[in-house]
Amino acid sequence: MSRYLAADLQKLAAYVPGEQPQDKRYIKLNTNENPYYPSERAVNAVTETEVKNLRLYSDPDSKKLIAAIAENFGLSEKNVVVGNGSDEILAFSFRAFGQNGACFPDVTYGFYKVFADMFGVEKEILPLTAEFKINASDYFHKDKLVVIANPNAQTGIVLPLSQIEKIVENNRNGVVLVDEAYVDFGGESAAELTKKHENLVVVQTFSKSRSLAGARVGFAVASEALIDDLNRVRNSFNPYNVNRLSALVACEAMKDKSYFQDSVKKVVAVREFVKQELEKRGFFVLGSCANFLMAKSDKIGGEELYLALKESGVLVRHFKDERIKDFVRVSIGTKEDMEFFLQKTDEILRRRS
């Protein structure tokens, strides 16, 4: 750290993404990527001509991509903003709507804390219940930015839409942001509710259910006024925030609905298979509506299992946070990936008994 760094940033604990090791080939089950390729339509959109067109800036209004998203949700284009990953949209939201502070659960996406610190937003962290659930009324009358991942990150547990709506109705002086990064794997989107609630922002991503994590495209849907606010931040930061190729592939991926539905269906089927298999082996597994499972063994600690799996060529995620340190988070890969993971888990458990 240099002595030139801003004082508040010297204290900032930056977000630590899951490992992307380049040293050897792992079965990667640690960053909730999709094991299937993006839609063929999306892949074919990247022609030589489009690559040559990289000499030109991207469309600062991302018109075609926004039109495809709006059409998908039955909304107007004025109700959509796109970002360089949904992380960027989250960052814009903390900057735009965090002036009275922000509240979110103790176990959730780790970036919320970092965005709050980065933008000087005061944070209020509310504990999940003992069953890792959100108690909606804890979030009533906060009158600040309320951030709920639904399904929740790290747990995969869903909060019913009726509860989301109650939170929105009971926070009229603050924006409620619902982060739906994982919603397509079993949650119910609140996108429709943005038509009747002016204080609701729903954020989604192409990274998970549309297999485009590396393209970095996310979006928000909300009332026209909230989208204007987010565009004010976006245009004050980087008006070309979605690059030409990513906009192109995301647009085609959004239009290829049948491919999307098929790949989501496959991930969900494998998730349920793995959950049962882990339970047969004595694991406690949270009921997940996402593309990952949180699982805890009574025979081996979370960190120990993570390290032993890594040694065997399987990467899962372990968090040191007190409440979830006994768990590992396992992203859902192909059936073959998951069978390999289960086989390695068996070998590790056998060695210990």
| Residues at the interface with ligand PMP (CB under 6 A) | 85-87, 109, 149, 153, 179, 181, 205, 207, 213, 218
Q: Compute, in degrees rounded to 10, the torsion defined by CA atoms 122, 127, 133, 136.
A: -60
Phi and psi at residue 330, to the nearest 5°:
-115, 115
CB of 140 to ligand PMP, least distance (A): 22
**Shorter beta-carbon distance to ligand PMP: residue 160 or 282:** 160
Closest residue to ligand PMP using C-beta atoms: 85
**Shorter beta-carbon distance to ligand PMP: residue 79 or 207:** 207
**Shorter beta-carbon distance to ligand PMP: residue 214 or 313:** 214
CB of 350 to ligand PMP, least distance (A): 33
Whether 174 and 121 have beta carbons less than 8 Å apart is answered as no
Tokens of 238: 């980087």
Other Cβ atoms closer than 10 A to 71:
13
Phi and psi at residue 38, to the nearest 5°:
-65, 165
Closest CA to 112 of 151, 138, 149: 149
Tokens of 55: 């000499």
Q: Measure CA of the first residue to CA of the last residue in the chain; give whole Å.
A: 46
CB of 125 to ligand PMP, least distance (A): 16
CB of 38 to ligand PMP, least distance (A): 14
**Shorter beta-carbon distance to ligand PMP: residue 182 or 306:** 182
Alpha-carbon distances, residue 29 vs 133, 194, 235, 258, 312 (angstroms): 24, 33, 36, 25, 13
Closest CA to 82 of 210, 245, 216: 216
CB of 181 to ligand PMP, least distance (A): 4
Other Cβ atoms closer than 10 A to 166:
16
**Shorter beta-carbon distance to ligand PMP: residue 148 or 278:** 148
CB of 153 to ligand PMP, least distance (A): 4
**Shorter beta-carbon distance to ligand PMP: residue 136 or 213:** 213
**Shorter beta-carbon distance to ligand PMP: residue 86 or 199:** 86
CB of 90 to ligand PMP, least distance (A): 6
